[in-house]
């Protein structure tokens, strides 16, 4: 068996959590391969909304194993809170939630370093979620990090103290940055005890044996392609590989084991935090999308920046990820528009450009739009794609033609049930 991959094609928050939850009955294992509590994945069913940060979005379905891979960074404090929120659902975590021993830990001092570094950047700040993501991945690549497997060792406290000492030295370089570490350490150590009570495994071994046994695996991406450390709008990115290749390194899966790649995008586009966004709408249209789409961050509550779909950006993301099928999310949000715009190419210094260039920030870039007829009616009650208005079908066909990948799912509301299949 192969691992299917589901990931975001824009700047995150495309609706990954919802679609993973919808697809989970087709799989035996759902595995997160990168990111950490900077993610906020929302699921809605039976009138209840759930937001997950580190725990994979298959956790609400029976008989499915949820695995937090080696590429993920775990904050024991956030993790404990997530588990507490899930307590009413009587989930057997010991059996259904596995942690990679190689996943790195976010320490309280990583969060402090994140905050100090952002504050020092002033107006150039990345707009980080301040969850300690960057400093934790820096310690991973700097070969200083602590991993889940370390918490079971007798010298864990010693290793922790040595790393904290290093961090305190670094924090001293940030003039005027005040903090109180003592009040952060008790909840961290409490979280470590909670992690010890869960099941830590050699997840690469576990997964590859699962393939052999015919188990079906879905890898759940976090963030989005344009936030990828290599291929995103650097430096306004996160610190991990959010693209398909991240599945290989973040789970220990060989490239030859990658199956379908499901790319998720909104029928428009959003971004939270700083950085370039060619089709951003700083006007009443952008504001209307934000209100209709309730575009406020699931992790930080910050308003999301809104704009139209950007074909050069989407083609770039499809190319990097090898996307085999697309899910178009939040079509219902555009119901208020008589006309919808799609960016077909850019004009840069008077020249037509239809790919995503090295740096779109601070250059003379004008997005060129094609106007498309909107459907201008409620979609939220639809139960079959066949019954969808012709204008919506035309929009889907237009995107499929230009992106050269089939759109197999159209989402028309946040609930599990508001999902239309368009598999031919």
Our finding on whether 221 is near ligand GDP (CB under 6 A) is no
Considering the candidates 4, 21, 41, 139, report the single residue annotated as catalytic.
41
Task: Out of 329, 334, 343, 403, point to the residue binding ligand GDP (CB under 6 A).
Answer: 329
Our finding on whether 298 is near ligand GDP (CB under 6 A) is yes
Task: Out of 330, 341, 367, 369, point to the residue binding ligand GDP (CB under 6 A).
Answer: 330
Please classify residue 198 by burial: count the beta carbons closer than 10 Å to its beta carbon, then call 0-12 exposed, 13-18 middle and 19+ buried.
middle
**x/- letters, 325..364, toward ligand IMO (CB under 6 A):** ----------------------------------------
Our finding on whether 223 is near ligand IMO (CB under 6 A) is yes
Among this protein's residues, is 13 annotated catalytic? Answer: yes
Our finding on whether 238 is near ligand IMO (CB under 6 A) is yes
Give the residue nearest to ligand GDP (CB): 42
Shorter beta-carbon distance to ligand GDP: residue 199 or 376: 376
Task: Out of 333, 342, 388, 403, point to the residue binding ligand GDP (CB under 6 A).
Answer: 333
- Ranges within 400-419 binding ligand GDP (CB under 6 A): 411-414
Our finding on whether 12 is near ligand IMO (CB under 6 A) is yes
Our finding on whether 145 is near ligand IMO (CB under 6 A) is no
Q: Are 201 and 209 in contact (CB under 8 A)?
A: no
Q: Are 16 and 221 in contact (CB under 8 A)?
A: yes
Q: Tell me the closest approach of the beta carbon of residue 15 to ligand GDP, in angstroms.
A: 4
Our finding on whether 117 is near ligand IMO (CB under 6 A) is no
Among this protein's residues, is 50 annotated catalytic? Answer: no
Piece of 29-37, 161-169, 326-334, 337-345 that binds ligand GDP (CB under 6 A): 326-334
Query: Which among Mg ion, ligand GDP, ligand IMO, none contacts residue 330 (Cβ within 5 to 8 A by kind)?
Result: ligand GDP
Identify the bridge partners of residue 23 per DSSP, sorted by sequence position. Answer: none
Q: Tell me the closest approach of the beta carbon of residue 418 to ligand GDP, in angstroms.
A: 6
Our finding on whether 207 is near ligand IMO (CB under 6 A) is no
Our finding on whether 44 is near ligand GDP (CB under 6 A) is yes
Query: Which among Mg ion, ligand GDP, ligand IMO, none contacts residue 107 (Cβ within 5 to 8 A by kind)?
Result: none
Q: Tell me the closest approach of the beta carbon of residue 154 to ligand IMO, in angstroms.
A: 33
| SS3 readout for the chain | CCEEEEEECCCCCCCHHHHHHHHHHHCCEEEECCECCCCCEEEEECCEEEEECCCCCCCCCCCCEEEECCCEEECHHHHHHHHHHHHHHCCCHHHHEEEECCCEECCHHHHHHHHHHHHHHHHHCCCCCCCCHHHHHHHHHCCCCCEHHHHHCCCHHHHHHHHHHHHHHHHCCCCCCCCCCHHHHHHHHHHHHHHHCCEEECHHHHHHHHHHCCCCEEEECCCCHHHCCCCCCCCCCCCCCCCCHHHHHHHCCCHHHEEEEEEEEECCEEECCCCCCCCECCCHHHHHHHHHCCCECCCCCCECEEECEEHHHHHHHHHHHCCCEEEEECHHHHHHCCEEEEEEEEEECCEEECCCCCCCCCCCEEEEEEEEECCCCCCCCCCCHHHCCHHHHHHHHHHHHHHCCCEEEEECCCCCCCEEECCC
Our finding on whether 40 is near Mg ion (CB under 5 A) is yes
**x/- letters, 290..329, toward ligand IMO (CB under 6 A):** --------x-------------------------------
Report the interface residues with ligand GDP, using CB under 6 A: 8, 12-18, 40-42, 44, 298, 329-330, 332-333, 411-414
Residues annotated as catalytic are 13, 41
């Amino acid at each position: 068996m192969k691992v299917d991959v589901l990931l975001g094609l824009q700047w995150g928050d495309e609706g990954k959590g919802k679609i993973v939850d919808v697809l989970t009955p087709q799989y035996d294992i759902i595995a997160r391969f990168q990111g950490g509590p900077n993610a906020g994945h929302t699921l809605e069913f039976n009138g209840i909304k759930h937001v997950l940060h580190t725990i994979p979005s298959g956790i609400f379905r029976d008989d499915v194993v949820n695995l937090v891979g080696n590429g993920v960074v775990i904050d024991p404090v956030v993790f404990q809170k997530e588990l507490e929120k899930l307590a009413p659902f009587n989930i057997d975590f010991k059996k259904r939630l596995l942690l990679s021993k190689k996943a790195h830990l976010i320490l309280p001092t990583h969060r402090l370093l994140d905050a100090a570094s952002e504050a020092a950047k002033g107006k150039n700040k990345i707009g980080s979620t301040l969850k300690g993501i960057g400093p934790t991945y820096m310690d991973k690549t700097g070969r200083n990090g602590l991993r889940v497997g370390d918490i079971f060792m007798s010298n864990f406290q010693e290793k922790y103290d040595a790393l904290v000492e290093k961090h305190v030295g670094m924090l001293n370089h940030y003039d005027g940055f005040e903090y109180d570490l003592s009040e952060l350490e008790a909840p961290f150590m409490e979280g470590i005890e909670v992690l010890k009570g869960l099941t830590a495994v050699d997840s690469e071994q576990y997964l590859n044996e699962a393939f052999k046994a015919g188990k079906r695996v879905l890898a759940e991406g976090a963030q989005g392609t344009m936030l990828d450390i290599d291929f995103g709008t650097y430096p306004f990115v996160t610190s991990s590989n959010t693209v398909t290749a991240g599945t290989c390194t973040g789970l220990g899966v060989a490239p030859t084991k990658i199956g379908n790649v499901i790319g998720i995008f909104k029928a428009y586009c959003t971004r939270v935090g700083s950085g370039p966004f060619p089709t951003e709408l700083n006007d009443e249209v952008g504001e209307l999308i934000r209100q209709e789409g309730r575009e406020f961050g699931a992790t930080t509550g910050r308003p999301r920046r809104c704009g139209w779909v950007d074909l050069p950006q989407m083609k770039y993301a499809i190319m990097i990820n090898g996307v085999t099928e697309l899910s178009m999310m939040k079509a219902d949000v555009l119901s208020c528009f008589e006309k919808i715009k799609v960016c077909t190419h850019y004009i840069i210094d008077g020249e037509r450009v239809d790919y995503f260039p090295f740096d779109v920030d601070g250059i003379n870039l004008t997005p060129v739009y094609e106007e498309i007829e909107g459907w201008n009616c409620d979609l939220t009650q639809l139960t079959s794609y066949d019954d969808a208005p012709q204008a919506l079908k035309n929009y889907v066909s237009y995107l499929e033609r230009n992106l050269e990948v089939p759109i197999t799912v159209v989402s028309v509301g946040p609930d599990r049930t508001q999902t239309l299949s368009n598999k031919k």
